[in-house]
Chains A and B, each alone.
Chain A
Amino acid sequence: MAPSLRPSRRDFLRAAAVSGGILLGFRLPVVATAQPPAGAPTSGEFAPNAFIRISRSNVITVVVHKAEMGQGITTALPMLIAEELEVDLRRVRVVTAPVDDAYNHPQFGMQFTGGSMSVASEWERLRRAGATAREMLMAAAADTWKVSLASVRAENGRVLGPGGRSLTYGQLVDKARTLPVPQDVPLKDPARFKLIGKPTPRLDSREKVTGAAQFGLDAKVPGMLIALVARPPVFGAKLHHLDAARARGVGGVTRVVEVPSGVAVIADSFWAAKKGRDALQLAWDEGAGAAVDTDVLQAEYARLAQTPGRPVQRHGDAEAAMAGAARRIAAAEYRMPYLAHAPMEPLNCLVALKDGRCDVWTGTQFQSVDRVNAARAAGLSPEQVHIHTLYLGGGFGRRATFSSDFIVEAVHVARAAGAPVKTIWTREDDIRGGFYRPMWHSTVSAGLDASGAPVAWKHTLVGQSILEGSPWAQVMVKDGVDATSVEGAAEIPYAVGSKAVDLHSTKSAVPVLWWRSVGHTHTGFVVESFIDELAHAAGKDPYQYRRALLAGRPRHLGVLDLAARRAGWGTPLAAGRARGIAVHASFGSWCCQVAEVSLQDKAIKVHRVVCAVDCGLAVNPTTIRAQMEGGIVFGVSAALYGQITLKQGRVQQSNFHDYPVLRMDAMPAVEVHIVPSTEPPSGIGEPGTPLMAAALCNALFALTGRRIRSLPLVQHGFESA
């Protein structure tokens, strides 16, 4: 997912001005253009902007320009439009947007889905789009009936007027099309919302329970071939020798070709391509990547953490405050491994090249970037590339890369094949394919006053930057500090006195990427574990200790108090159980989780997780609950078992047996409580993930007195009950 930090609009203007190709130019929010986007059918339809089309036969089409990867965006965005347009959500036809500047993020100047931003960034624009269409339809009706605009109103897909007059939107299409698009339409008073804020069933459930939903893997065109690519066993290795004779002898294999990322075996079926790939005989020049060893890297990170890094945050004189503290808490070392996204749908991409046109069918989060990259690989201009975004079988950030790795590769394969080809990754390809959540090391220390309250806080982080070298670096990396490396650590909500935060950005052959909640995945664990350490050192209750240090932070306190109350914090538990708490703000939202755990021998059982979230106005509470549940599962999976390790440059894991994720039998009971709010909506896809590791380890400490500072828990001999 994209970074959660929100640089100023001016930053993006500047970035867009200098970067050209990738950031495709800053645009003011498109509220109402009379021109529908390229490729959108126009004949006979009323299309007052890029998001709404109404036909004479009264079919109301909403164009969703965000990728649906499970977060419920194909329900939430139509809700925003339907609310203002006054139509029944169940009657709305949802279609997926092509790539067009009209669908660019209002600030980032490109079309993408990430950073838990979709509802927040579209909240104003899409309600305005709906309201614009509504006002135009009302004006069309008033004009038809020769009555005043004030005497008509819109309701359930019709305009109603004096004397029982009534016309459907479809009947008003021809007239509405001729009207000027108003620039400043009134939005509904939230008190009159009929849909926004109400638990609303997802619109895509039926197709997803009948097998009808089309994911990238399901795309098909006539004459399509299937490819698997043999990629290097070590990141950065180059092909040294290829013997494809046996592979070519496999029935169904049509071609074996070298592409920049490896060797593609192209066949008439997946099975033939797989057998062909298994039969390849390859030798690689492994290069420097062969030296990568995560144990060695860990030692190197620990050593670096003892040296001064780039200053990230300086508040007061942390050294002096530490020296003068009544009590010093010795440096605690936290370690977090590389993590793979492992979406259920392995990466895949279908490409058809014909007559100066490149069609791409895939599930992607990064359309604008992908179009430019695909064009370059195809030898075409971006306008000649058409990306058809299908459902994503999970994204979690993996389908948003600046290099468009899986799309560019598929373009090269299709070019070499001279036929449409769907390139499919196996699970092993996915787990070993890189683009991991970076490995991190954090060293934290604190000084406490006589009452146990912190007066000094020192935190040094060591890990790879996600954005260095990317087109976003000029905005998001300042003075060598990648904002996504330190989000959640640079600024912390607790009153900790003087503060010094440092960063070492390391280099490695291992490609890294944002992973559901980006930097917060590691900073949430460290800050929320260490605060817990301080509470225990001070002899205070971890909930009350946090409470005292969060004075003046009403939204932190709101979720903290709500979760603690609902979890029964402080009330007796069954024998052998303990609770742990964590609170963290990310992506504009506030979240608190209380985990209840027990231990039988070495087997950890997570019985219950109580979650409170404040995400501003809750547009669809149903989806918000689901995203919290999902974020918690994602966090528990990583905390218990998640790790990618490398030896001699080779990734040691390959599939779900050695990269396990949570299953039904380990699923805790999850309760989600939403803080009522009238603030603008904020992120929901990611804020549920960063807290679980801390909440679990804090509960384990309460249970055993043993502080776990490195993940995953299985490396400490724990098992999942």
Chain B
Amino acid sequence: MTSLNVNGRAVTVTADPDKPLLWVLREDLGLTGTKFGCGVALCGACTVHLDGSPVRACVTPLAAARDKRVVTIEGLARGDKLHVLQEAFIEQDVPQCGYCQSGQIMSAAALLAKQRNPTDADIDAAMSGNICRCGTYQRIRAAIKQAARRLGKGA
């Protein structure tokens, strides 16, 4: 039995402690917004926040999340009010196939949480672990900057 907090909710999971958090989220908790892309932390599709830091859930064993706070893409909005990054991704028409977008947004949200006005180099550093095969990088960069501007204005 492993207890953790997922998107503000206390949960208890009976899965093996070595089961990756990705599959616990998807299979045991029904949170399928977090995606499987490579299984070895190379693509970022499974990025979630663990106590506020971005981690690759595909290589994070459940045991490492014990008693910690996990936030997934499903936990980013406040009710119907989307996170400023989600709004910016929509306004910049970022998603194509959309499969990598949860991971992209979670990486970007972690970046903006610690760096309100990221430079291009900051964005490169924070986002280069997330692959987008559709090639939406330019729009992701624009969306992050738009969200940063909005945060700067206190929106």
Q: What 0/1 pattern do residues 33 to 74 of A give for CB contact below 8 A with B?
A: 000000000000000000000000000000000001111100
- Per the bound structure, the CA–CA distance linking A342 and B134 in Å amounts to 11
- Per the bound structure, the CA–CA distance linking A428 and B37 in Å amounts to 10
Q: Count the B residues whose beta carbon is within 8 Å of the partner chain — how many? A: 61
B148 to chain A, nearest CB (A): 16
- Per the bound structure, the CA–CA distance linking A344 and B82 in Å amounts to 25
- Per the bound structure, the CA–CA distance linking A202 and B38 in Å amounts to 27
A517 to chain B, nearest CB (A): 14
Of A215, A226, A656, A667, the residue contacting B38 (CB under 8 A) is A656
Say yes or no: B97 contacts A661, CB within 8 Å: no
Say yes or no: A629 contacts B136, CB within 8 Å: yes
Of residues 321 through 344 on chain A, the ones whose CB sits less than 8 Å from some CB of chain B are 342-344
Of residues 618 through 668 on chain A, the ones whose CB sits less than 8 Å from some CB of chain B are 622-623, 626, 629-634, 655-657, 661-665, 667
Say yes or no: B94 contacts A210, CB within 8 Å: no
Supposing A70-B96, A211-B74, A342-B133 touch, asked if A217 and B35 sit within 8 A by C-beta, the answer is yes
Say yes or no: B135 contacts A632, CB within 8 Å: yes
In the complex, what residues of A have CB within 8 A of residue B45's CB?
Answer: 344
Q: Which residue of B lies closest to A215 (CB)?
A: B99
Of A70, A201, A345, the residue contacting B90 (CB under 8 A) is A201
In the complex, what residues of A have CB within 8 A of residue B70's CB?
Answer: none
B108 to chain A, nearest CB (A): 10
Does any Cβ of A come within 8 Å of B42's Cβ? yes
Does any Cβ of A come within 8 Å of B131's Cβ? yes
Of the 9-residue stretches A133-141, A387-395, A521-529, which lies at the interface with chain B? A387-395
Supposing A630-B135, A663-B128 touch, asked if A210 and B73 sit within 8 A by C-beta, the answer is yes
A647 to chain B, nearest CB (A): 22
In the complex, what residues of B have CB within 8 A of residue A632's CB?
Answer: 135
Does any Cβ of B come within 8 Å of A683's Cβ? no
Say yes or no: A670 contacts B98, CB within 8 Å: no
Does any Cβ of B come within 8 Å of A240's Cβ? no
Supposing A201-B93, A204-B95 touch, asked if A661 and B133 sit within 8 A by C-beta, the answer is yes
Does any Cβ of A come within 8 Å of B4's Cβ? no
Of residues 226 through 243 on chain A, the ones whose CB sits less than 8 Å from some CB of chain B are 226
Supposing A427-B39, A629-B136, A661-B131 touch, asked if A211 and B99 sit within 8 A by C-beta, the answer is no
Q: Which residue of B lies closest to A668 (CB)?
A: B138
- Per the bound structure, the CA–CA distance linking A665 and B134 in Å amounts to 15
* 18 A-B residue pairings within 8 Å (CB atoms): A206-B90, A210-B73, A210-B74, A217-B32, A217-B35, A226-B27, A344-B43, A344-B99, A344-B131, A345-B97, A393-B99, A393-B100, A394-B97, A655-B38, A656-B42, A664-B124, A664-B127, A665-B124
* 17 further interface pairs, Cβ-Cβ under 8 Å (given A626-B139, A667-B137): A202-B95, A208-B98, A209-B90, A217-B36, A251-B16, A269-B15, A344-B37, A344-B99, A346-B36, A393-B98, A426-B39, A427-B43, A629-B138, A630-B135, A632-B135, A655-B39, A667-B135
